[in-house]
């Protein structure tokens, strides 16, 4: 009888052997938990379209972060919901703004045991829901907006953010932020640039989470067109040249090719955002008993890591960390 020289199933025989030869790892230390903190609410509010997540009060945020840390999660990214929104989003850079006070709370609680990230954008703070200030024709004014981003970066760094993460997709935003941080001596603040961020319907549940309704138009004038692949390289190279320490691809599963491209292209760490819609689709199917949600979550995050992401922002952080054994 002839035996095949190479029998591929040999390396799949036991869990120990499979672990030994696995090319990709997934553990809690690679995950970043997105969290929402709201000003002026007395109790946390669940977010219907994002099961298991809510808008936090300052206190419930602290408790949630304690829980995450106990599960092995050591990085969080904060999104703020101000009590008042206005045309320019002023509370985004107010030292007493909701994200800034929450950053100080969490730094007090955890010191350097927690990597504190802050989403840096204006859409949660503007009454029109766009990621910047508007010109008379209703489009976003790039240069006026990046001046405001520079102010937000300073407020977040002053409040203790390890990482500021500009997500507005304005040209020159990383350079403006780096300059403002350097000017006041925040030499160690990390910039995680949402570098290749595509316009997608998958952000729907997130907009419920932050109470954002875009008053007119959409984000296609600043976020990338999903049909384009090489454009992502241009965005990433520009952000790295401007001083980004890490770059993000977003969303994740519909952009696995982009993640793989970017991992080849640059030597900075690559983040991917498994976004609200990607999470909620899994949870909705799981609630119906159609799939095992946690197992699919682990598969999604593993695939994102396999494509080349070093870290993953994900609403599955707690659930997956728990399943992986904390
Ligand atoms: C913008 C921002 C968005 C998300 C993160 N930062 C929304 C948008 O661009 O419309 C989406 C994240 C998600 O869907 O989970 N501040």
Give distance in angstroms: CA of 325 to centre of ligand 1. Answer: 29
Q: Identify whether 200 is part of a domain.
A: yes
Q: Which of 203, 210, 317 to mutate to test the pocket of ligand 1 (most atoms within 8 A of CB)?
A: 203
Overall average pLDDT of the 98-102 stretch:
98
Q: Identify whether 223 is part of a domain.
A: yes
Q: Identify whether 255 is part of a domain.
A: no
Overall average pLDDT of the 143-151 stretch:
97
Q: Identify whether 121 is part of a domain.
A: yes
Give distance in angstroms: CA of 299 to centre of ligand 1. Answer: 22
Q: Identify whether 47 is part of a domain.
A: yes
Q: Identify whether 124 is part of a domain.
A: yes
Query: 222 pLDDT exceeds 70?
Result: yes
List pLDDT tens digits, range 177-188: 999 999 999 999
List pLDDT tens digits, range 113-145: 999 999 999 999 999 999 999 999 999 999 999
177 to 95, 109, 156, 162, 188: CA distances (angstroms): 17, 27, 11, 14, 13
Residues with CB under 6 A from ligand 1: 119, 121, 123, 131, 167, 203, 206, 219, 275-276
How does residue 199 score in pLDDT terms, banded at 50, 70 and 90?
Answer: very high
List pLDDT tens digits, range 48-76: 999 999 999 999 999 999 999 999 999 99
Q: Identify whether 199 is part of a domain.
A: yes
Whether omega for the bond prior to residue 251 falls within 30 degrees of 0, making it cis, is yes
Query: 262 pLDDT exceeds 90?
Result: yes
Q: Which of 206, 276, 278, 317 to mutate to test the pocket of ligand 1 (most atoms within 8 A of CB)?
A: 206
Domain that holds residue 210: 27-248
Q: Identify whether 91 is part of a domain.
A: yes
CATH number where 182 lies: 3.20.20.70
Give distance in angstroms: CA of 89 to centre of ligand 1. Answer: 16
Query: 1 pLDDT exceeds 70?
Result: no
Query: 244 pLDDT exceeds 80?
Result: yes
Task: Please indicate whether residue 197 is annotated as part of the active site.
Answer: yes
Q: What is the distance between the alpha carbons of residues 152 and 109, in angstroms, rounded to a whole number?
A: 23
**Overall domain count for the chain:** 1
Query: 234 pLDDT exceeds 90?
Result: yes
- pTM, two decimals, is 0.97
142-158 and 98-110 are packed helices; what angle lies between their axes, rounded to 10 degrees? Answer: 30
On average, the pLDDT of the chain sits at 96
């Amino acid at each position: 009888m002839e035996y095949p020289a190479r029998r591929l199933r040999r390396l799949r025989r036991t869990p120990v052997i499979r672990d030994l030869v696995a090319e990709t790892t997934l553990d809690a230390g690679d995950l970043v938990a997105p969290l929402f903190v709201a000003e002026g609410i007395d109790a946390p509010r669940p977010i219907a379209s994002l099961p298991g997540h809510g808008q936090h009060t300052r206190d419930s945020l602290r408790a949630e972060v304690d829980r995450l840390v106990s599960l092995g999660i050591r990085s969080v990214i904060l999104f703020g919901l101000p009590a008042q929104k206005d045309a320019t989003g002023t509370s985004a850079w107010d030292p007493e703004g909701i994200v800034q006070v929450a950053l100080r709370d969490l730094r007090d609680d955890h010191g350097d045991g927690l990597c504190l990230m802050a989403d840096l954008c204006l859409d949660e703070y503007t009454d029109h829901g766009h990621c910047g200030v508007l010109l008379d024709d209703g489009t976003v004014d790039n240069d006026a907006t990046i001046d405001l981003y520079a102010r937000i970066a300073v407020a977040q760094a002053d409040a203790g953010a390890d990482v500021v993460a500009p997500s507005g997709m304005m040209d020159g935003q990383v350079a403006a932020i780096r300059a403002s941080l350097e000017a006041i001596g925040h030499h160690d603040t990390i910039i995680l640039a949402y570098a290749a961020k595509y316009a997608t319907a998958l952000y729907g549940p997130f907009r419920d989470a932050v109470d954002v309704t875009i008053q007119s138009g959409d984000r296609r004038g600043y976020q990338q067109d999903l049909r384009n692949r090489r454009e992502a390289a241009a965005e990433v190279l520009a952000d790295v040249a401007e001083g980004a320490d890490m770059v993000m691809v977003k969303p994740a599963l519909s952009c696995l090719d982009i993640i793989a491209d970017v991992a080849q292209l640059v030597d900075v760490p690559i983040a991917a955002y498994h976004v609200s819609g990607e999470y909620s689709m899994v949870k909705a199917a799981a609630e119906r008993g159609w799939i095992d949600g946690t197992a699919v979550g682990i598969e999604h995050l593993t695939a994102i890591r396999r494509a080349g992401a070093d870290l993953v922002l994900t609403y599955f952080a707690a659930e997956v960390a728990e399943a992986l054994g904390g």
